[in-house]
Chains A and B, each alone.
Chain A
Amino acid sequence: MNQQAVLRVEGICKKLDGKSILDDCSLTVNRGELKVLIGPSGAGKSTFLQSINCLIPPDAGEIYLEGQRLDRADTAALCAFRAQVGMIFQDFNLFDHLTAEENVAIALRKVRGMNASDAKDRAQNELARVGLARRALLYPAQLSGGQKQRVAIARALAMDPKVILLDEPTSALDPELVGEVLAVIRDLASGGMTMVMATHQMDFARALATEILFMERGRIIEQGAPETLLAEGSNTRTRDFCLRLLEMGA
């Protein structure tokens, strides 16, 4: 094995109000891989992704970035870890008081300590990469949903993340805007970006995923290459779920 595990997550558990939300979830992502989390709503996909960078602190489990264990009690280490792990949210979460360009530049300046003009140049480049060079001076309220999500992706990319976590990046978008965001993610995948993505876009998952992880009631119950899990007659929960999604016209 000359492939290196960029992110390794072991035995993540999370309880809320005595109810188990995540039960012993583990995941390993090697460089350049795209792992796709699928499963019904409430399965814990979003909680799992957010517990990987401790936005939702897990009750138990270990997280390793490039083999180095994360000490969650050490806030400085946690900030440094988060700065290397990109996160894309379902509802974008752009900073409402900053322009697209400032949204991308602010973490470069405040977290990376870059000077204002370098950060601005970098922000311009990243916005150009997601096709938004001409929208740099607009505020989030002046952008469409698809544009907001692309700015959010540019913001994550500017930090040179080792891995990007995407939490249903297209779920909050109007159908006609889904394509532009998926196109950007597709470019990242073909450019070798390491990613973990929760999604309901099955065609996308089938075409690009290195591995699909099927989650239900807080557990990863099936995982494997898309062609195996989704093969005709494979009789997996994953295939069953996808067929039902198709029936609903999703």
Chain B
Amino acid sequence: MLDTVFLANELLPALNRGLLVSLALIIPSASLGFAGGVLLGCARAFGPLWLRRLGDAYTALIRGVPLAVQLMMIYYALPKFGIFFPPFGAAMTSFILCTAAYQSEYVRGALLSIRQGQIRAAQALGFSTLQTITWIIIPQAARRALPGCGNEIVYLIKYSSLAYLVTCMELMGEGKVIASDTFRFTEVFLAVGAYYLAMVTLASLLLRRLEDRFHIPGFGMR
């Protein structure tokens, strides 16, 4: 039985509130995490050896530890060293750190896939190193990295639901509270699932648009 009163008066307002917090988490985390991933990816592809090692170690650590554990460390362990984060800040920080590590992997792969001949041709025409990177390497690498980076954004949308572990009241957190109060676990989490599905669908659509917009014959299959 669909309880419209519960839905309209309790569940949806709470979830909408949570959705706004989720979006406030996801959008900056995705942007800053992507920017961090590009820097980290460049460092890991072209940096001096020590920087590459450092970047590799960071990525190995982040990829090797569950995000839930990282969240706990940032929220509960860092205060022991005098670094305090509010729940929202802790969640956002850990998402940025995590997504940057994964994004750097896509960026690094894309950079390493640029054929040496492209760089030689640019040099032979008199391009400086900076011009070669700006006009040849980045436009090509961005196209190669886009599908992977988009995928990571889709993941981020879903793993943002872990923020409730550190009492950040986003979509999942709001759902959890209502479910515990009313014992309507099925309805609540069906609705929460639908919210995430809608966000992911929208993001996928936008990413597909972006891919089409930058599509060039010879890059990718379509």
Contact = CB atoms under 8 A, between A and B. Distances in A.
Contact of B125 (A91, A107, A141): A107
Interface string A81-98: 111111101010111110
Interface in A161-187: none
Contacts, number: 76
B117 A155 contact: no
Instruction: Please classify how large the interface on chain B is, using the bins under 10, 10 to 19, 20 to 34, 35 or more.
Output: 20 to 34
Interface in B167-222: 216-219
B126 A159 contact: yes
B126 A89 contact: no
B217 A89 contact: no
Contact of A139 (B120, B131, B135, B216): B216
B120 A55 contact: yes
Interface of A is mostly: helix
A79 B139 contact: no
Question: Which of A50, A80, A97, A141 has its CB near the most chain B CB atoms (within 10 A)?
Answer: A97
Contacts of B217: 139, 141-142
Question: Which of B115, B121, B123, B129 has its CB near the most chain A CB atoms (within 10 A)?
Answer: B121
Contacts of B135: 106, 110
Given A80-B126, A107-B126, A93 B121 contact: yes
Interface of B is mostly: helix
Interface in A127-147: 139-142
Interface string B104-144: 00000000000101101111111111010001100110010
Given A75-B128, A140-B218, A93 B117 contact: yes
Interface residues of A, number: 33
Contact of B131 (A87, A91, A96, A110): A110
Contacts of A194: none
B219 A96 contact: yes
A53 interface: yes
Interface in A89-120: 89, 91, 93-97, 106-107, 110-111
Contact of B126 (A50, A111, A152): A111
Interface of B: 115, 117-118, 120-129, 131, 135-136, 139-140, 143, 216-219
Given A89-B124, A95-B140, A96-B219, 19 more contacts: A50-B120, A82-B124, A83-B125, A85-B124, A87-B124, A87-B125, A93-B120, A95-B136, A96-B216, A96-B218, A97-B136, A97-B139, A97-B216, A107-B126, A110-B127, A110-B131, A139-B216, A155-B125, A159-B126
